[in-house]
């Protein structure tokens, strides 16, 4: 099995994917949702017949890709029906794989990513201004990582699940792309786990301890402020005293004033 992110070895493709050199089937996410998935739900023929309808949960991804290898190069696309989970929650599908002797699941990571297309032009209020294209959300994408008791399959595959807007309920079609797990999928997985840990810590915080901690912090802050003011006052007083001493030393000491005495003329001899 190739290493994570390295992709499969070259293989022969089905006739509809045999393009001239340099051309490949690389649909955008908007095309997957708004053209292929919408066409499947509304009963229209797709532009290219390369998306097979499969019960994805009946397969391990390695076996599924091997069975449909010719329908993709680095990604394989499938229509699958969303099945209810054991929790019976609305819009929460089953993720557990039904393969004998294997305990596996597709673990959802991160949050839903909106998929948008350009809609009609928006009218500008200023006369003569050119209208701007508005983005219209047509569906969502969620990244899932394959976790299995089979070491050869565990953590090596990712799935991008696309849902058409307004069709997220159970028993509705979804379009899935399955590929070797990419670095971006791993990053989203780590971010999701980090957010989960933060939420868990927030739920386990004791309000009383938090209140005491805030009170202690406030008291310590008040004491620090008072100490800084006291130190500042002492420094100012010391500086003023030093200035006074410098003034006394540098100023010359003047002798006491003595008024001049008038000398009397000596008496003349007779």
The confidence score (pLDDT) of residue 116 equals 96
Distance CA 9, CA 245 (A): 89
User: Torsion angle, CA of 121/125/128/132, rounded to 10 degrees?
Assistant: -30
Close Cβ partners of 142 (under 8 Å, ≥ 6 residues apart): 108, 109, 110, 111, 112, 113, 160, 161, 163
Q: For residue 98, what is the domain's CATH number?
A: 2.170.150.80
The confidence score (pLDDT) of residue 224 equals 67
The confidence score (pLDDT) of residue 129 equals 54
Query: What secondary structure letter does DSSP report for 96?
Result: B
Instruction: Give a yes or no: residue 37 inside a domain.
Output: yes
Distance CA 69, CA 19 (A): 16
Q: 10 Å Cβ neighbour count for 62?
A: 17
Instruction: Give a yes or no: residue 56 inside a domain.
Output: yes
Distance CA 61, CA 154 (A): 10
| For the ranges 83-97, 102-116, 119-133, 216-230, the one whose mean pLDDT is highest | 102-116
Q: Which H or E run includes 221? A: helix 207-250
User: Per residue in 223-243, pLDDT tens?
Assistant: 666 667 766 666 666 766 666
Question: Is residue 160 within 8 Å of residue 70, measured between CB atoms?
Answer: no
What angle (nearest 5°) sits at the alpha carbon of residue 121, between those of residues 118 and 122? 115
The confidence score (pLDDT) of residue 252 equals 52
Instruction: Give a yes or no: residue 87 inside a domain.
Output: yes
Question: Is residue 78 within 8 Å of residue 56, measured between CB atoms?
Answer: yes
Mean pLDDT of 151-160: 95
pTM of the model: 0.64
Mean pLDDT of 52-72: 97
Instruction: Give a yes or no: residue 25 inside a domain.
Output: yes
Instruction: Give a yes or no: residue 244 inside a domain.
Output: no
Instruction: Give a yes or no: residue 247 inside a domain.
Output: no
Question: Is residue 42 within 8 Å of residue 81, measured between CB atoms?
Answer: no
The whole domain housing 19 covers 15-120+131-203
The confidence score (pLDDT) of residue 79 equals 98
Distance CA 50, CA 78 (A): 9
Instruction: Give a yes or no: residue 68 inside a domain.
Output: yes
Residue 234, judged by CB atoms within 10 A of its CB (0-12, 13-18, 19+), counts as exposed
Instruction: Give a yes or no: residue 45 inside a domain.
Output: yes
Distance CA 74, CA 9 (A): 9
**Beta strands across the sheet bearing 157-164:** 52-53, 76-81, 173-180, 157-164, 132-148, 104-122
The total of structural domains in the chain comes to: 1
């Amino acid at each position: 099995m190739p290493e994570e992110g390295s992709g499969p070895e070259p293989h022969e493709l089905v006739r509809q994917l045999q393009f001239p050199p340099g051309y490949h089937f690389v649909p955008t996410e908007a095309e997957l949702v708004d053209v292929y998935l919408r066409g499947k739900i509304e009963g229209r023929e797709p532009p290219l017949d390369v998306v097979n309808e499969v019960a994805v949960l009946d397969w391990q991804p390695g076996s599924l890709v091997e069975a449909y290898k010719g329908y993709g190069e680095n990604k394989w696309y499938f229509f699958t029906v969303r099945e209810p989970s054991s929790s019976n929650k609305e819009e929460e599908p089953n993720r557990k794989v039904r393969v004998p002797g294997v305990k596996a699941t597709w673990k959802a990571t991160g949050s839903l990513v909106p998929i948008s297309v350009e809609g009609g032009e928006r009218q500008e209020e200023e006369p003569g201004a050119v209208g701007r294209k508005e983005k219209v959300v047509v569906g969502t994408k969620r990244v899932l990582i394959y976790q299995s008791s089979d070491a050869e399959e565990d953590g090596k595959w990712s799935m991008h699940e696309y849902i058409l807007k307004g069709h997220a309920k159970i028993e509705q079609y979804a379009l899935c792309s399955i590929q070797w797990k990419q670095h971006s999928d791993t990053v989203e997985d780590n971010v999701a786990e980090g957010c989960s840990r933060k939420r868990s810590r927030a739920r386990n915080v004791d309000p009383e301890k938090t209140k005491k901690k805030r009170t202690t912090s406030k008291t310590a802050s008040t004491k620090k402020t008072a100490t800084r003011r006291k130190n500042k006052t002492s420094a100012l007083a010391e500086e003023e005293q030093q200035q006074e001493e410098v003034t006394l030393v540098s100023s010359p000491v003047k002798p006491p004033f003595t008024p001049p005495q008038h000398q009397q003329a000596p008496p003349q001899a007779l």
